[in-house]
Amino acid sequence: MTSKTTTGRWLMLSALLGCLQLAGTDLLKAQDKLPEPVLFLDEGEEYTYFRGTEEPPVDWNTLEFDDFDWEVGNSGFGYGDVDDNTIIDDMQNSYLSIYIRKFINIDDLGAINFIQLGMRYDDGFIAYLNGVEIARSLSMGPAGIPANFDTPASDHESTPTPEWFNFSLDALDVLQEGENILAIEGHNTNLTSSDFTLIPYLRYYDNVCPYRMTCTERNSGGVRLVWYNVITPPPYESIDVYRNGEFLGNPSTPRSRIFTDREAPPGEHVYEISVTTLDGTNCSEVNPLSCTIVLEGEKIPPATGFRRGDADDSGVVNLTDGIFILSWLFRGGGSPTCQDSSDADDNGAINLTDAIFLLVHLFRTGPAPPAPGMQNCGADGTSDDTLADCDYNSC
């Protein structure tokens, strides 16, 4: 069972992240704002459900199955916690699983570009769309392996905010206009467990194209491009980079959000990226991204090291770095390229205090990050620092 203290911390962090993201997007130009998902299944929705005292019918997760005899309740399902709208009070010491079903009506399939399933669960789940598995918790083992009604899950504590799972392309293929069925089986870790939780959410994006792009001149010469992705990992097939209309190349993988033009000559340059998503969407038509930069003369000798506080490796330190640290620590976001750059207070560890330290400096005139500082690249002077050596790209 999650403690009240832990729950309180999660709620505070969730609120903080929400406020920071709102503040961050307000600072951006309108066309650069983060696309917002549309939530169309929330907590408290009505489902039909089956108590797992025996195996459910083999077609229980299909659209054609008749669940007329199943019970009806609102999510969350469970016992032993304060998040239970439908209390399954006979589950403890009796059975391990619950099966739930929810009809979803899709009016316009063309409006859906990407779907995510959100889950708060204790201890495991497997989710299906129209009979096809779309997501499962690690606590239920490898994908595609069926679970029996009496299969236990590995231990997993529920959190106050959902864990989001990306749908596979196969799942998007079975989604159809009109009626669909979302079916989820939830499993407890053992019969004597003190609690159980099963709360689904469903959201979609009409646009998962990159929403922001910056150009930064490198001290060692050339230009560094950074763009920001809606989904991690992003569902991209390819990314092409152009300078002044001429093709430059591709980042290391379609999941990258960084490209370095090391051969950029002096002068004005307009950079563009052309992104194609896995479903064939051309992002240049949906949300074209470009940035302009002027390079003057020869460059100073290359700098080495890192910028303290530049957690997202963009070449500048700002609000997005605080958001990046919090998202990595508490929401499973991308990890920092250079750990020392995220150690804003230089205490040899990366935790909540680094994000707070950085934000207090930026917005409350708190102390600046220690050497090498935010403006210039340099080496870490802390001799007993156990963080990994840097592979920093913005110097």
- Over 80: is that where the pLDDT of 147 sits? yes
Q: Are residues 189 and 254 in the same domain?
A: no
**Which of 175, 205, 235 is a domain's end point?**
205
Q: Are residues 101 and 181 in the same domain?
A: yes
Q: Are residues 231 and 195 in the same domain?
A: no
**Which of 205, 225, 240 is a domain's end point?**
205
Helix 4-27 and helix 319-330, axial crossing angle in degrees, nearest 10: 150
Sign of CA dihedral 22, 23, 26, 31: negative
Instruction: Over range 217-227, report the average pLDDT.
Output: 86
- Over 90: is that where the pLDDT of 390 sits? no
- Over 80: is that where the pLDDT of 107 sits? yes
Instruction: Over range 182-201, report the average pLDDT.
Output: 97
Cα–Cα dist 128/131, whole Å: 5
Task: Residue 230: give its domain's CATH number.
Answer: 2.60.40.10
Please report which residue ranges of the chain form alpha helices under DSSP H.
Answer: 4-27, 169-174, 283-286, 319-330, 339-342, 352-364
Q: Are residues 87 and 145 in the same domain?
A: yes
- Over 60: is that where the pLDDT of 168 sits? no
Question: What's the pLDDT score for residue 102?
Answer: 97
Instruction: Over range 283-290, report the average pLDDT.
Output: 86
Q: Are residues 65 and 181 in the same domain?
A: yes
pLDDT tens digits for 320-333?
Answer: 888 888 887 877 66
- Over 50: is that where the pLDDT of 256 sits? yes
Cα–Cα dist 393/377, whole Å: 11
pLDDT tens digits for 14-29?
Answer: 555 555 554 444 444 5
Q: Are residues 47 and 171 in the same domain?
A: yes
Question: What's the pLDDT score for residue 243?
Answer: 96
How far CA 39 is from CA of 10, 200, 261, in Å, comes to 21, 11, 39
Q: Are residues 186 and 220 in the same domain?
A: no
Task: Residue 149: give its domain's CATH number.
Answer: 2.60.120.260
Q: End-to-end distance of the chain based on CA atoms, in angstroms? A: 46
What is the residue-wise DSSP string for 220-238?
TSSEEEEEE-SSSS--EEE
Cα–Cα dist 259/273, whole Å: 10
**Which of 171, 190, 205 is a domain's end point?**
205
Closest C-alpha among 316, 227, 325 to residue 17: 325
Q: Are residues 160 and 183 in the same domain?
A: yes
Q: What's the total number of domains in the chain?
A: 3
Q: Are residues 279 and 221 in the same domain?
A: yes
Q: Are residues 315 and 246 in the same domain?
A: no
Question: What's the pLDDT score for residue 25?
Answer: 43
Q: 278 versus 146: which is more confidently predicted?
A: 146
Q: How confident is the model at residue 109 (pLDDT cuts 50, 70, 90)?
A: confident
Per the prediction, the chain carries an average pLDDT of 84
- Over 80: is that where the pLDDT of 10 sits? no
Question: What's the pLDDT score for residue 26?
Answer: 44
Q: How confident is the model at residue 244 (pLDDT cuts 50, 70, 90)?
A: very high
Q: Are residues 236 and 339 in the same domain?
A: no
Q: Are residues 63 and 196 in the same domain?
A: yes
pLDDT tens digits for 68-101?
Answer: 999 999 999 999 988 899 999 999 999 999 999 9
Which tokens go with 315? 């070449």
Which tokens go with 139? 């606590």
Asked whether 259 and 225 are in contact (CB, 8 A), the reply is yes
Domain range enclosing 178 = 37-205
Asked whether 387 and 343 are in contact (CB, 8 A), the reply is yes
